[in-house]
Amino acid sequence: MPAALHTTHTDLTGAEAVNAKPAAKPAKRGRDYSKQSKAMKMAWASYRKWEADWIKDFNEPVGRFVRAQFNMYLRNAYQTMRIAAMGTVTITREEAQFIGSDCLMKMQEAA
């Protein structure tokens, strides 16, 4: 057998050690947290305003952090952002009159 084709056990283990290095992974794109950051800023601002109003109304501090109150302000912040993302809704005069007439007819039927 020619020497060029003859491989030994040590040659194979050395080759495995060289190939065992992890391949370079492509860089991950960073996640955009701007929506979450904006919602948290809005929620904290609302919560702090509520605390200030509480102190002004009852002349005593809130005491502990009120999680339910903060959760409400966080939900409101996300809802406000969703509404702002949808944009303005325009209603024509005819649509407004139709909506109003429908409500008027229901009120007249109920009376």
Q: Are the C-beta atoms of residues 50 and 73 closer than 8 Å to each other?
A: yes
Q: Which two tokens stand for residue 35?
A: 């929506």
> Average model confidence (pLDDT) for the chain?
81
| Confidence (pLDDT) at 5 | 56
d(CA 46, CA 41): 9
Q: Give the predicted TM-score (pTM) of the model.
A: 0.56
Q: How far apart are the first and last CA of the chain?
A: 108
| Confidence (pLDDT) at 111 | 60
Instruction: Find the Cα–Cα–Cα–Cα dihedral 7, 13, 14, 20, rounded to 10°.
Output: 130
For 38-57, how does the pLDDT look when each residue is reduced to its tens digit (9 = 90+)? 999 999 999 999 999 999 99
For 49-92, how does the pLDDT look when each residue is reduced to its tens digit (9 = 90+)? 999 999 999 999 998 999 999 999 999 999 999 999 998 888 88
Nearest of 65, 27, 24 to residue 47 by alpha carbon: 65
